[in-house]
Every structure is written in C-alpha cells, then in structure tokens.
C-alpha cells in the first residue's frame, strides 16, 4: 500500500516572504493598474504596473533620485520625498492616459499617516483616482515636512550640519511646495 504526499510546497516567492499571493490576486481581480510603492532606508520607488499573463508590465515609474532634476536636495526617503515621488508617478501616469488605479503596498503593514500613504496622496493630487480612506493619509503639515522643520529649528549651529545634509532644512515646507508646483507644471497636471 503506497501513501501519497499530503504536503504541497509553496511558491518560491511565498517561501522567501516576498509575495502575498492572496493580496496579489485581489489586486489583479480589480482589473486596474496597480500603483506599487516600495520604500527603502534611502529611496522611494513608485511604479504603475499592469498585469499580463506573460509578466507584469511597468507603465511608468518614479524614483526619489529623479527629484534632483526638480532641485530637491533633501532626504530621499522621508515623508515629503515620498509625497513628491507619488505626485511625480501620478503625473507621469496621467500623461500616459491612466485615470484610475489601486494601491499595492506589498508586504508593508498599512500604518495610517505613513510614507506609503504620503505617496498615495501625491498620486491623488496629480489627478489619479484611487480608492482610499481619508484617515489613512498623513496631514498636510506632515506631507510638507513641518515635523522636520520643527526639529531642525530646535537644534543649534553645528548640530544641524551633523544631522542634515542640506543647509536650508529650516525652509523644507516652502521647498516641498515649490517642487510640487514644478512637477505639476512640467506634466500639465492640475490638482
């Protein structure tokens, strides 16, 4: 009498903890492009991806390194940078004809007010329609970097240079607004 194996090996990406296939199937069933947001310690990456049987197709992409083109010299993975990358990605997507999409945060835990939702707010401000809960979005003060500016103002001379790579960190709110206007103007996106 032979016994059959009852154990089924999970997909490689599931074993490695890279993909939650249940969430992925739900996102694909929406039949809308996915706005994929990935945040590392140093950068923010935002892509608009469309499902295809042969493999996902990237429709457009924005990376925090692209903010240099708009004269952003602040941190590349903070909340204002996440917002600006989301805005840039949304503006590029709108220019390619995308009007509606869903947010894909991967394996990140959805924390209200986090950088992932700052990127979502950026895409919404670019004119893309995304389903979201208003309470999940960070406040406008946080998106503009008031928390960073307040901390910088509490520091003395040399301490600012030790903690921040830019000298005008005390004007980060104005700089964020300025970059936002430049992005919207370049892509003719109206809020």
Task: Please provide the average confidence, as pLDDT, over all residues in the chain.
Answer: 90
The domains of the chain, with CATH numbers, are 15-186 (3.30.420.100)
Whether the model pTM is above 0.75: yes
pLDDT band for position 169 (cuts 50, 70, 90): confident
Q: 39-70: buried (b, 16+ CB within 10 Å) or exposed (e) per residue?
A: beeeebbbbbbebeeeebeebbbbbbebbeeb
| pLDDT number for residue 1 | 59
Q: What is the pLDDT of residues 89-117, one digit of tens each?
A: 999 999 999 999 999 998 888 999 999 99
- DSSP3 helix / strand / coil % (the chain, rounded to 5): 45, 15, 40
Does the structure show a pLDDT above 90 at 177? yes
Considering Cα of 158, then 160, then 161, then 163, what sign does the dihedral take? Answer: positive
């Amino acid at each position: 009498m032979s016994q059959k194996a009852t154990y089924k090996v999970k997909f490689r990406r599931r074993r490695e903890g890279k993909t939650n296939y249940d969430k992925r199937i739900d996102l694909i069933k929406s039949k809308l492009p996915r706005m994929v947001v990935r945040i590392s310690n140093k950068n923010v990456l935002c892509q608009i991806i469309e499902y295809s049987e042969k493999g996902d197709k990237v429709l457009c992409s924005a990376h925090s390194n692209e903010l240099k083109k708009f004269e952003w010299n602040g941190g590349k993975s903070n909340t204002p940078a996440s917002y600006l990358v989301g805005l840039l990605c949304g503006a590029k997507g709108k220019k390619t004809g995308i009007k509606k999409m869903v947010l894909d945060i991967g394996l990140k835990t959805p924390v209200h007010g986090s950088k992932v939702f700052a990127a979502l707010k950026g895409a919404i401000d670019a004119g893309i329609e995304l389903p979201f809960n208003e309470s999940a979005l960070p406040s406008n003060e946080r998106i503009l970097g008031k928390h960073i500016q307040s901390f910088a103002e509490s520091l003395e001379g040399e301490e600012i240079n030790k903690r921040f790579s830019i000298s005008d960190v005390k004007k980060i709110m104005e700089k964020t607004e300025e970059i936002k206007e430049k992005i919207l103007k370049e892509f003719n996106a109206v809020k």
